[in-house]
């Protein structure tokens, strides 16, 4: 029995899932989609007659674009957007270099402790520390040396800093910048790398306007080019991840003109 699509309205995009074109591996899943859109378009070129009267049209460059905003950042989609197809990942050993910024209050001791072991050129792992001004900005800088003096501090190579002699009092704030090694994933947005392509499947919630019954449907785009442009918005709300992709002709699969198709399975 043929479905009458006029009786269905799209209420939401439940999930958007990207798959590797060659292997079929799942690359990312958006499952907290706040809003989105599906837009189709084509160029129209008119042949005109006397006084510019339009006689007939030729259409080309048909497009279908999906845009959405997800409620949190999805690493796989970010990697595809920036063209980092082999992000650095290490969950067994600390091998990823990351910057640290700490404000440490001075106590009774002439030493303070940072949270991690600093990494860098031996004898200059930290480089500088600063006495914070009353407004919180960095004040007087002090350089790293093998022994503390009135103008320099010493670092033991682990987590302890010996403060400059007679320069800090109890309650003063020390500002420290350094780098350390940690576990995790590192995504690199290189200037000569660009976004990639994937297969995109949207799980769409469609509602029967007559009965109110909600059914899952599928919008399948066999090949999309992910947009290099993305946006993280910061403000009163938490940051969301924007995502945009445009359908491409999937010539290798014999779909040179098919952008997407709908499937409404029986039941849910």
Query: Are 197 and 221 part of one and the same domain?
Result: yes
- 129 and 111 both lie in a single domain: yes
Instruction: Note whether 201 and 81 are same-domain residues.
Output: yes
Residues 135 and 151 in one domain: yes
Whether residue 217 sits in one domain with residue 103: no
Distance, first Cα to last Cα, the chain: 17
Mean pLDDT of 71-98: 89
In angstroms, the Cα distances linking 198 to 27, 185, 225 are: 8, 21, 7
User: Are 157 and 212 in the same domain?
Assistant: no
Read off the pLDDT of each residue in 22-37 and give the average, rounded to a whole number. 93
pLDDT at 154 over 50: yes
* pLDDT at 259 (0 to 100): 61
Distance, CA of 54 to chain centre = 46
- Measured CA distances, 258 to 220, 221, 247, 251 (Å): 10, 8, 9, 9
**Would you state the pLDDT for residue 249?**
77
Predicted pLDDT of residue 265:
52
pLDDT band with cut points at 50, 70 and 90 for residue 1: very low
pLDDT at 6: 57
| Same domain assignment for residues 216 and 145 | no
Out of 141, 161, 185, pick the residue that ends a domain. 185
Q: Of 185, 201, 230, which one is at a domain's C-terminal end?
A: 185
Task: Judge if 147 and 256 occupy the same domain.
Answer: no
Last residue of a domain, one of 162, 185, 208: 185
Query: What mean pLDDT is predicted for residues 19-30?
Result: 94
Find all residues with CB under 8 Å of 241, minimum gap 6, and list them.
30, 69, 70, 72, 73, 74, 77, 78, 230, 232
The pLDDT assigned to 266 comes to 52
pLDDT at 26 over 90: yes
* 213 inside domain: yes
In the predicted model, is pLDDT for residue 118 greater than 60?
yes
Contact 69, 241 (CB under 8 A): yes
pLDDT score at 2: 44
Secondary structure of residue 58 in the 3-state scheme: strand
Q: Half-sphere exposure (CA, 13 Å, Cβ side) for 248?
A: 16
The answer to the question of residue 162 being in a domain is yes
Q: How confident is the model at residue 112 (pLDDT cuts 50, 70, 90)?
A: very high
User: Within a domain: residue 33?
Assistant: yes
In a domain, 53, yes or no: no
pTM equals 0.76
Res 3: pLDDT:
46
DSSP 134: T
Residue 252, domain CATH: 2.30.110
pLDDT in tens, 174-211: 999 999 999 989 899 989 999 999 999 998 887 777 77
Mean pLDDT of the 50-76 span = 88
Q: Do the Cβ atoms of 202 and 70 come closer than 8 Å?
A: no
pLDDT of residue 192: 93
* 208 shares its domain with 80: yes
Q: What is the number of structural domains in the chain? A: 2
Is the same domain home to 139 and 215?
no
Q: What is the pLDDT of residue 24?
A: 93
pLDDT classification of 263: cutoffs 50, 70, 90: low
Instruction: Indicate if 196 and 83 belong to the same structural domain.
Output: yes
**Quick one: 83 and 206 in the same domain?**
yes
Domain housing 146: 96-185
Q: Average model confidence (pLDDT) for the chain?
A: 87
Q: Residue 63's pLDDT is what?
A: 82
- Residue recorded with tokens 């001004």: 133
């Amino acid at each position: 029995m043929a479905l009458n699509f006029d009786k269905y309205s799209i209420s939401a995009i439940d999930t958007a899932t990207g798959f590797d074109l060659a292997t079929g591996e799942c690359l990312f899943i958006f499952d907290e989609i706040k809003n989105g859109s599906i837009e189709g378009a084509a160029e129209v070129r008119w042949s005109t007659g006397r006084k510019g009267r339009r006689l007939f049209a030729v259409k080309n460059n048909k497009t279908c674009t999906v845009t959405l905003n997800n409620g949190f950042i999805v690493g796989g989609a970010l990697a595809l957007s920036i063209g980092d197809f082999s992000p650095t990942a290490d969950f067994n050993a600390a091998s990823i270099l990351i910057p640290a910024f700490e404000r440490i209050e001075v106590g009774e001791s002439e030493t303070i402790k940072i949270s991690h072991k600093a990494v860098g050129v031996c004898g200059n792992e930290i480089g500088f520390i600063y006495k914070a001004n009353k407004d919180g900005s960095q004040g007087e800088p002090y350089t790293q040396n093998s022994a503390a003096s009135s103008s320099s501090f010493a670092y033991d190579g682990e987590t302890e800093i010996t403060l400059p002699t007679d320069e800090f009092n109890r309650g003063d704030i020390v500002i420290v910048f350094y780098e350390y090694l940690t576990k995790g994933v590192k995504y690199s947005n290189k200037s000569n790398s660009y976004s990639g392509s994937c297969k995109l499947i949207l799980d769409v919630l469609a509602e029967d306007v007559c009965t109110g019954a909600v059914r899952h449907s599928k919008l399948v785009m066999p090949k999309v080019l992910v947009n290099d442009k993305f946006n993280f918005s910061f403000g009163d709300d938490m940051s969301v991840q924007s995502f945009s992709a445009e359908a491409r002709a999937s010539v290798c699969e014999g779909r040179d003109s098919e952008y997407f198709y709908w499937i409404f399975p029986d039941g849910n």
